Each structure stands twice: as structure tokens, then as C-alpha cells.
Structure 1
Amino acid sequence: MKKKITVIGLGYVGLPLARLFATKYAVVGFDLKKNRIEELTQGKDSTHEVDSEALLKVLVSKNPSNEQNGLFLSDDINDIKDSDIYIVTVPTPVDKNNHPDISALRKASETVGSVIEKGNIVIYESTVYPGATEEDCIPIIERQSALKFNVDFFAGYSPERINPGDKEHSVEKILKVTSGSTPEIATEIDELYKSVIIAGTHLAPSIKVAEAAKVIENSQRDINIAFVNELAKILNLMGIDTNDVLKAASTKWNFLNFKPGLVGGHCTGVDPYYLAQKAQEFGYHPEIILAGRRMNDSMGHYIASETVKMMLKNDLKIKGSEVLVLGFTFKENCPDVRNTKVIDVVKSLEDYSICVNVFDPWPNPAEVKETYDIDIISKAPFKKYEAVILAVSHKEFESINIKNLLSENGIIYDVKGVLEKESGVKRL
């Protein structure tokens, strides 16, 4: 008999996964946000990760039996009581002090604990520090369910590798790391993912190994970007174009061609803190990891201060001037504003008493207002600005003649390094 699956959390990770599994299994997609369930039921995904046609193709109007295929959406906990496998894909951000916040993970574990039955498996996909599954989540399920781990129910960890906005590397095309709490369960979990992931799987020897693999992937990327960000600061002082240097250096076969810029989002700007906190619990105080984070977290202020220096050089007023920031999401061509570092640029400019306008057609303005307390422009502006900062290279910006948005002697700061080098344009 086929297994019935519940996916808890229908965001950037959970929805694509639920849709994929629904092509071969009976799946319940569970989310506490009623408005999210309502929009998805209509075939609309505000994250743009699953297109309407693909979503509507797998949606079913009633809770399917094990032998059926399809995705049933619900915010009612009663609809997930008969599942065999529970996959948790809730957010794991950091708080304002950059401490890991696993409150959503704990809440999801309580939910699983209230419905899990003997023989069931719970698989976590949310990014965590090594040990979180077995030390933080499983005890909650045991207390809630009165069942015994690895006797009555089992667990696994398979880290998500979704890249928001990336249509080429969709979930089924990304090799999946899997793991399980016993050798038998590990094999079962691996076979489950292997049945839908065409890129294949890698079975890790333990849950902790799989957890650690996830956090070091993004920590490594964070450190590499921190290096080129520091390089950009040094080369700027020397009057050397960073992009020209990287282009020349990348001609060597083993050079890693990372680009300088703002490092935010749900993974790269967050995962290093998860690894660092766990290291500190073991008495080790990481140096390179946190140094990289400090460098990357400083870039918003750096971009703002460099913009102001250019404005002063061009005899432009600072106090009361107007600056346009193009883009607010954490990366191009997606609506995801989680942990975006563009907000640091905006707030730093405002510290100079500059009036900042932000134009971005991708995110929900209401979400931006609620999360960051700023208003964004969702339609192309037509006024003149003392400075324009290209913070995110959305495809919509390619057709904008940025020079037409500048006042006399106005300047352009190209964070993404995509504009041609010319007078009045500075690249990071």
C-alpha cells in the first residue's frame, strides 16, 4: 500500500515539494494561514514557485485515500490525522539579535505530535543546526503523542535546497540529501524521495550529518561572498574596478567566481548563525564564520555611505535629497523579501536625512509594509532623483533608462555590476 503524505508549511519549500509528491502520492498540504490555503485552492501561488497550470493539475477537492494521487489543501488539523509520513517545511529564521528562532519548528512538532500514530515517520526539511531534529523536535513529539521514538514512530532529515525564483533548478532537478533515525527508515526515506527526485539522492549516514551538510553549504557561500565584499572595499580605495579584477581572475580554471553584494534571504544570510550558535554551545567560538557575517551585514551601510560620497563629489545636496532604490527583494526575479538586506541601504540613507523611494514590482507592498514598515512603489517612477541605486537586477529594470531618472549631476550606484562603466556610474 502506498504511503499518504502530509506536508506542513506551504511556502517556498513546502508547496513545490507537495506538488511534486502529489503526482505520485496522496498528499495533504497543511498550512495555518487560511488566506494561503484560499489562494492556492484557486491555483494562485504568490511565491511564483509553482505555476497555476501545474498546481491545478494536481489539486483535488477532497481528502484523498492512500491509493489515490493528488494534493488536498487544508488548514484543519483533522485532515492530517490519517497520514503515514509528515514532512515539516516551516521557516527557521533568526531573531533581531541573530539568534536562531525555531519557534515555528517547535509548533510544527507539537502539531505532528498531536496526530502521529504508531509506525509513522516525520521528516524535517527546515534548516537547523546539527542535533535539532533529535534533541529539540523529537522530544516534543514524544511528549505530545506519548509514543516512543524509534519504537513507535521514526524520523528523518532531508535538507531543502530550493533556490527561490530559479526555474531551471526546480525541486525535482536538485540532488536530495536524505537520512533516517534507523538504517531501515533511512532506506525507506531515501526510496521515497528517489521516487520523485529525478536528480537522484544521497543517503547520509545519520540525521546529524544531513543537518550539518545543509548549514555548511550556505556558510561556505557566505564566507566566499564576504571575501569578495572585502576585496571590493579594498579595490575601491585603490580606484580599481572589482568586476574587471574578477573577470581577469576567473580565467584561471579553479578560481571561484563569486560576486560582491548584499547577502540576505532565508538561507545564506541565516544558516551561518545556526552553525555558530551550536559551535558556541560546545565551547568553540567560530572566527571565520562570524567574521564573514559581520562583513556581509556591513554592506548595506557601506553602499549608502559610498552613494553619499559620490553625491558630495558631484556637489549634490544630501539633506532633503531624493534617492531611488531599484529593487527590494533579497534576489532578482522573485517576490521573496525574507531577510532582505536592501532594508539596510534604505535605513542608512534615511540616517543622512535623505528621502528614499523604493521601486520593486515583485513583492506584495502590504507584506513589505508589515515586515519592514516602509512603503514601496510598484509602478515605474517618472520623477527625477539625485541618485539611483540598482540594488536588485530584476528583468523589469533592463528596459529602464536609469539616466532619465537623474537630476542634473545625478549619480548611479550599481550594486549588481550589470551596467556599463561610464561617467556617473559607480559599481560595487
Structure 2
Amino acid sequence: MTEHPASPSERAPDTRAVRGEILYFTGEPAALGDAAIAHFPDGLLLVRGGRIDAVGPAAELLPRLPSGAPLHDYRGKLILPGFIDTHIHYAQVDVIASPGEQLLNWLQKYTFPAEARFADPQHAAAAADFFCGELLRNGTTTALAFATVHPGSADALFAAAHRRRMRMITGKVLMDRHCPPGLCDTGTTGEAESRALIERWHGRDRLLYAVTPRFPATSSAEQMRAAGRLFAEHPGLYLQSHLAENRQEVAWIARVHPEARSYLDVFSRFGQLGPRSVFAHCIWIDDEDRERMAGTGAAISFCPTSNLFLGSGLFDLERARAHGVRIGIGTDVGAGTSFSMLQTLGEAYKVLQLQGQALGAAQAFYLATLGGARSLYLDGRIGSLAPGCEADFVVLDPAATPLVARRIAGCATLAERLFVFMTLGDDRAVLATHVLGEPAWRR
């Protein structure tokens, strides 16, 4: 098959319809069971002005379709909300599959040299275009992404996402110590450059800004205070960072901040905990930290492929859920090994199996859609196909490969088919990705 992006000429009139098997979540399946699932075996989405106008059985809604309105017929395919990646590094695409190191050595050997190249605006623009294309090719329509310390890297990613009308949350990295000179800003310049980017991009169409201290070891107290100040001053702003990914890293933070009770406490002392703060990994935290995250509204991004690849540890989903922490899924490319949310969910299942925990297929796809939206405080806008939501969705092909087709043909339930997709699926399973109702990528 030939793969190509949808061209602007394919954009259709204001109202359109999409037909196929439709699935989305109204709540968390692990808590509510089947009551959390909205499923229409032969369903129809009516899309008006980029939002879901109605959803339900095709037989009921087809009469409401205006004469001449375009209809995308995906019968025999599964339509889900677009995937939401809550932690990914767009500047690390060129170091994905770089072997042989754990976190801190991996940063020095691979990450920092790759990120230094983003001082070149042309390199940043080309990488941003490739990155957004890969997200869409894998069915991901929203991402919370790290750029680099260079303001132009954030400009490039915002611009690439804006051209595709994607919902993108990103920001320049804040890093003023313990890093190569070419990747080092200062407390003053980092804050000033972030403010300029916020003014330029935050709230522009579907774009949102994230204050981005890499982690407390690479930001001085001055810079951490500035990050907390920015986070507090601007309504709707995000904050993203890394937390307790690797034991060596945790020990380093303890040496740098002996006054703090825990790694999480460092962020708290600098005013960085709250709604819309998202911390990747959170492997080596305790129940007091989990309780604090839940109480402040902070969220965790579970990054299974990265945690396994770097040998960081196993995320305890059961404990995080028990304390009521908001949780999404992150691919964490480039330590993560795939842009595919399907492959990432499959690895999440294995991480939990190693701890005697079960990840049901419905719960997994919830985490990749509505759960991610809730962790970003964007439920009601994305992560669902309920009326009023932005019409971002992915179309999965049950005949994507001979093995997937054979295995799905033997499935008796929706849950079994979902499990096949997340165990055997990858980018080949994505037939099409729609952004605001319009084809943004198709196979």
C-alpha cells in the first residue's frame, strides 16, 4: 500500500460523516466495567465544524446527514479517539534504538549531542515535520512533547503541529547546570525565552505551552523558582518534567537537594505541583508521594518501553490508581522504542505482568485516550467521541497483517480484539488518522 498525507484539497464542507465500528470511553473501565464503554458495531459520527455533532447507530443517524455531505466509509474497521501521548521527546528521534546505557549515561552519550543540533533552525524544522508525521502515522493526534533548550526548537514544533491542526503541548527545555555548554541557558534567559514563547504560542488555535525543566539536577534553584513562577502566572499553562525514573538519578537528586523529603518534594518546594503538571516515569516514589500527586492534581505519564529499554524499573500502576493519581501513557521516544501507542500498550501489559498486575484491553485503550485527556485536563475536548468533543480519531484495520487478520477472525468479543491490536498491532494497523474530522494521514 502507498502511504501519504491527506492534501488540503481533500478538505470537505463543514458537515461530514464517518461510518464504521465506533468505540470510546465515558469513564474508567477498571472502575466501571462495561458501563464505561460506548460501542456501536455499525456506527456513525456526524462531524460539524471539527467537532462531534452526534454519534450512534448508523441506521439512526444516516437520515440526519445533509445531502451532499461527504461520508467516509470505514465499515469493517474500528474507529477510536485519537491517541494521546503524554510524554515524548521530538528532538530524540535520531537516537531511538541507541543501545547499551542506562539513563544518566544515555543522556550524555546520545541525547545531549543530538539535542545540540537543534540550534540549527533548519534541522529543527525538518525534525519537527518528521515527528508530527510519525505521530499521525501511528494514530496519535495529541502529544505533550519536550523540545530542546533552544527557543527555535519549540517554534519549529509548534509551527509543524499548527500546519496539521494538531493539538500539541510543548515548551523549550530549561537547563542551566550539569549539561554541555551548548545546551545551557541561565535562570534569566530561560525565563525570558519561555515568556516570549508563551506569548507567541500558548492558546493559539490548539497549541498550548508547557514549562519544561528537564529535572532538578539540571536546573538551579533560581531556574526552578522561575519555572514555578511561570507555571503559576499564566492561566492554563502546563509543566512537564521527569520524576524518579532511575535509582542513580534519584540518588543524585537527594544529594543535590538534601533538604527535600523526596524527589517529588523538590518540585513541590518550587511551586511546580498542581493541575496540568505531568511527570514522566514515577517509578521510585512512595505512597506519600502518590497521595501528594493525587491531592494536588498532578499526573503521571507511564512510559513502559523506555523504562524497559533503559532498565529503569517497573511502574506500579495499581498503587498509583489506588491513590487516585491521574495517569496517561507516554512513548518517551527516543529512549522509548516506538511511536506506536499499540506497541506501547503491549509493553505496559508486560510490565504489569511482571508485578502480578493485570491490564485489561479496555483499560489500556482508556489510558491511551480518555485517561490521557484527563491527565491533561482536556477531557471534554479530546480523548472521546462524545458530542461536543474535537473530532480527532484513528481508524484501525483488523486485516492489517496476515497474523492480525487470522487472530482477530478467531475472537469472540470486543475485548479479545482490542487485546490482539495492543499485542500484535503497530503502525501497520493504522489505516487512517483524522484531525478535527478531516483526513490528516491515510495508508
For the criterion TM > 0.5, the same-fold answer is no
TM-score (ref. length: structure 1) = 0.26
Q: Which has the higher strand share?
A: 2
Q: Which has the larger radius of gyration?
A: 1
With CA pairs under 8 Å and 6+ residues apart, which has the higher RCO, 1 or 2?
2
TM-score (ref. length: structure 2) = 0.26
